[in-house]
Chains A and B, each alone.
Chain A
Amino acid sequence: MSETQLSWVEERAQRASRNPIAQGLGFRDGASAPPQPAEARETGIDALDALESEAIHIIREVVAEFERPVLLFSGGKDSVLVLHLAAKAFWPGRVPFPVLHVDTGHNFPEVIDFRDRTVERLGLRLEVASVQDYLDDGRLQERADGTRNPLQTQPLLDAIAAGKHDAVFGGARRDEDKARAKERILSLRDEFGQWDPRNQRPELWDLYNGRHTVGQHVRAFPISNWTELDVWRYIEREGIELPPLYYAHEREVYRRDGMWRAISEVSPARVDEVVERRTVRYRTVGDMSCTGAVESHAASVADVVAEVATSTLTERGATRADDRISEAAMEDRKKDGYF
């Protein structure tokens, strides 16, 4: 600390008591004005505890202030985490809202199995918005590149409208992507589901403003502030079950765009691509047609925590073909109503 700094610290209590402007800004007097910095107390609350309490607070606020919330549930680790937090928030009661799955038809079978078992176990109601239905009756058309991820938006918005859902929980995290880093915890969407990043509501303290008009809805992101490593450390701490493909297993894969892609009906290898058997795991779980695996021997939660802590690639950079289209791929999809 320089001498200049020392001298103001010493003067602080005195000056606050004599300062009309400080008082005008809300400081009362020397005794109660600016907190002294050096008197830390042990709160006994670590980062995971703080993130858990923040998420539960958000989930309860939304349930208290909205009529018909729903949770977007894909069976991926982030939505599984939000469901776990909701179960804690209302225990010993049941989770007081249904879950919604936007089904692209390009799912990993073990994830669908996990989804159905989870819904059954927790006694939840499952709503499904099927992209395949839209393709079958011509409301949507298959893309040239075969990926169905961008096709989810319309079935999602229709399902939100049909269910009269005024709040939609999602497991999106700000550390996933540059556009998501700009997202509010409660994010207002118009009747077209559009996100307007240049005109977002200020979000102040932990006071969430869920007011909306007819036709609008709110997306709620309780784990906005969690990183991938936080998620895994919490999964380890709480013993949360995930679909098995998050852990190392052997699979028939081929190399495309620097990622290991699973061989399947919807993601066939081209003639010039060599199919081989590798030990891999998934860091994110989306469509089979656009999600890549990473080579890994992390077979347990503890192994995965250690792997994530030392990874040199982001989870989306390592595993998502759809985010590599352009620097603003996620921003463009979010503006169109994607989550």
Chain B
Amino acid sequence: MGDALFRFATAGSVDDGKSTLVGRLLHDSKAILADQLESVARTSAERGFGGEPGAIDFALLTDGLRAEREQGITIDVAYRYFSTGRRSFILADCPGHVQYTRNMVTGATTADAVVVLVDARNGVLEQTRRHLAVVALLRVPHVIIAVNKIDLLGYSQQAYDTVAADVAALARELGLADTHVIPVSALAGDNIVDRSANTPWYDGPSLLELLETLPSLDELETEFEALRFPVQLVVRPQGALAHDVDDTESFRDYRAFAGRISSGTVRVGDRVQVFPGGATTTVTGIDAGPDSVDEASAPRSVSLRLADQLDAARGAVIVAEGALPEPRRELDASVFWLGAAPLRPGARVLVKSGTTTVQALVPEIVGRRDLDSLELEPAQLLEINDIGQVRVRLSADLPVEEYVAHRRAGAFLVIDPQSGATLAAGIVTAPVTPTTGHAGSSTRTTTDTEGVAA
């Protein structure tokens, strides 16, 4: 068995040095090859980067679009790849600029961890709060705050402690999961790959050490471990068999349900139920291409053979016996609005959940989250980059769960039925009512217990 995959995203405000950090991580973990380095060094010299000869502008490694290099900002998520002896990493380098916040959501939905950069001189900014709110909403398992440019403050422990205390307060407000704070200098390389001698007062791991050891989403114990298998399509070759099938006779009536296990483990002989309807049957075979296996776990793509001929197609979900989801026609949901046009009550949209897309109506906007106070306020509409709470009425039953209990069953897309554009990232929540009668900043929550209960 080889090394495991770990996905993380980076986020930060403009000028926090995010691209430099990513470049440094890639460079110091030896993921940058000679021809790339040479090209970057040449461009750095042409543009007169830094004072010293041979200084490298690491941001040039990651900003892939012409407009990004010209404006010195990151517009879109760039994916980078590197591996150490222990793990293969997929890095989603996300834009920090406010108008591109939606791309940060793209990077964070698949992330096992998010690295948020904070400039040690500026501390926690509005954009940091916004990023951490997104991370909390999307329940990224681990948050790493990289307190950058600590070298410019003479490696001051006090500067680090101030940021760490602010982050701690914010993490409490947001209910952030697992939070780590590391003092770094992306430019100088402190605490990126190796622990730095310049910060003797910090006894924690370097950034790379942390990334190598934090458990990934799939490695984490979750509450919801029962089998859940959304059917993508039915494999039924009916005589049109692949070239390498020798025993054509025994495959004449082959019929299997193809999909990706979204949670739990399936074993041959397991009793399972099928949504919709709840019919019960037995798993008679698990195929991974031409290989038959005895068991398979999330997130494997397999095909399941069942004992009974069931009327199941794309959109059906095969679950462990007794774990049949409740059919839902109405949802309470948090949405991260990404569409250019605002959401208004009464909007007709499409909702895509698992392998099903249904028509839906948004009869009510319950509220919009004030990103300063982080509280829910009444709102008439949701605009781009708003996080809101809505009710959704569906045209057909969906087998969703609350996102806190099951990520893959609680996540959905909101799609524009006309243009096909993705309008929002949605997550199913418990019912929520807005906090009323307070203006945003006056009700700012400062401790666990003083918040106004919903």
Could you list which residues of chain A lie within 8 angstroms of chain B, going by C-beta atoms?
Answer: 1-2, 4-5, 7-9, 11-12, 14-16, 18-28, 32-54, 56-57, 60-61, 63-64, 87-95, 121-123, 174-175, 177-179, 181-182, 188, 197-198, 200-207, 209, 211-213, 224-225, 227, 229-230, 233, 311-314, 317-318, 327-328, 331
CB proximity of A299 to chain B, nearest CB, Å:
23
Beyond A8-B172, A314-B36, is A227–B81 a contact (Cβ under 8 Å)?
yes
For the complex, is B314 an interface residue (Cβ under 8 Å from A)?
yes
For the complex, give the distance between the alpha carbons of A84 and B30 in Å: 31
Chain B residues near A12 (CB-CB < 8 A): 177
The contact of B422 among A63, A209, A227, by CB within 8 Å, is A209
B242-A27 in contact (CB<8A): no
The segment out of B10-18, B185-193, B270-278, B407-415 that lies at the interface is: B407-415
Given contacts A211-B421, A331-B64, could you give 11 more A-B pairs where the C-beta distance is less than 8 Å?
Answer: A23-B432, A24-B375, A25-B136, A27-B175, A50-B299, A60-B259, A88-B290, A92-B241, A182-B76, A182-B77, A327-B39
For the complex, give the distance between the alpha carbons of A338 and B80 in Å: 22
Chain B residues near A181 (CB-CB < 8 A): 64, 78-80
For the complex, give the distance between the alpha carbons of A181 and B181 in Å: 28
B165-A19 in contact (CB<8A): no
Which of A41, A224, A233 has the most CB atoms of chain B within a 10 A radius of its CB?
Answer: A41
The contact of A37 among B177, B350, B425, by CB within 8 Å, is B177
A-B contact count (CB 8 A): 334
For the complex, give the distance between the alpha carbons of A95 and B244 in Å: 12
Q: 19 A-B pairs, CB-CB below 8 angstroms? A: A21-B175, A23-B430, A23-B432, A25-B136, A25-B429, A37-B141, A41-B219, A43-B297, A45-B297, A47-B88, A87-B242, A93-B240, A122-B243, A175-B80, A206-B408, A211-B415, A225-B81, A227-B88, A314-B35
A57-B34 in contact (CB<8A): no
B290-A39 in contact (CB<8A): no
Interface 1/0 per residue, B389-424 and A, CB below 8 Å:
100000000000011110110011101100111100
For the complex, give the distance between the alpha carbons of A2 and B147 in Å: 14
Could you list which residues of chain B lie within 8 angstroms of chain A, going by C-beta atoms?
Answer: 1-5, 33-36, 39, 43, 63-67, 69, 75-81, 83, 87-88, 90, 102-103, 105-106, 109-110, 133, 136-137, 139, 141-142, 161, 164-165, 168, 171-181, 202-204, 214-216, 218-223, 232-233, 235-237, 240-243, 245, 251, 254, 258-260, 287-290, 297-301, 303, 314, 334, 338, 350, 352-355, 369, 374-376, 389, 402-405, 407-408, 411-413, 415-416, 419-422, 425, 427, 429-430, 432, 435, 445, 448-449, 451-454
